[in-house]
Structure 1
Amino acid sequence: MGADVKRAPIRPDWWRKTFAGAVLGATLAFALAGLFAWVGPGGIAAPEKSQFVMWSIAPVWMTVFGFVWLFRTGTHALLWLGGANLLAWGLLLYVRG
């Protein structure tokens, strides 16, 4: 490897991607867990379902947080995850209501 190898600079939108993954990823994970709790097998009152729902939040959140870096820009990440949040929370409110 020569000394003239150029590395790609750090993109300035990584803050937006981090925010999208951390905040919008968490809220999306909560909404998806809530949807599974209400619509999944046995409904909301199924025995031991609360433990599964509780423990499923972290893997879903970390998966979204990991894949957020595949978006082209931070703005795309914010828009897509924001839209997914609106859809998931809207469905959750519809199912509960």
Structure 2
Amino acid sequence: MLGKSTAAACLGLPLAVWVVGLAALLSGDQARTTLPLLLLFFLVWIGVMAGAFMFRTGLRAWLWMGGATLAGYALLHVLKAGGLVRVAA
């Protein structure tokens, strides 16, 4: 239980940031969709943290959530570096 709790606490926030950030970047009109996505962020964060408790062991929670976080941020980096998404300044 301690492994799942620490995975939820440590990896829940960056994984939720990745999900909401990807949705914001891929939206057509960032000016209209950013605020609703920021309002939904807390619900996504709670959902990701609750999802950590669905794994059988704490090690699996760390591996799956950590892998998803690394893969997600790598995908965002590739999208930005390749010029496939435009970041509004």
TM-score (norm 1): 0.75
TM-score (norm 2): 0.81
Which one has the bigger helix percentage?
Answer: 2
The superposition leaves residues 9-59 of structure 1 with CA deviations (integer Å, 9 ceiling, x where unpaired) of: xxxxx11111111221110000111111111233xxx22322122122211
The superposition leaves residues 51-79 of structure 1 with CA deviations (integer Å, 9 ceiling, x where unpaired) of: 12212221111111112111110000000
Query: In the alignment, what sits opposite 1:70?
Result: 54
Query: In the alignment, what sits opposite 1:92?
Result: 76
Q: RMSD of the TM alignment (CA)?
A: 1.3
Query: In the alignment, what sits opposite 1:30?
Result: 17
Taking the aligned partners of 1:48 and 1:23, their CA distance within structure 2 comes to: 30
What 5-or-longer segments of structure 2 have no aligned partner?
82-89
Please list every run of at least 4 consecutive aligned residues from structure 1 whose deviation after the TM superposition is greater than 6 angstroms. none
* Identical-pair percentage: 32
Taking the aligned partners of 2:51 and 2:13, their CA distance within structure 1 comes to: 13
Q: Which has the larger radius of gyration?
A: 1
What 5-or-longer segments of structure 1 have no aligned partner?
1-13
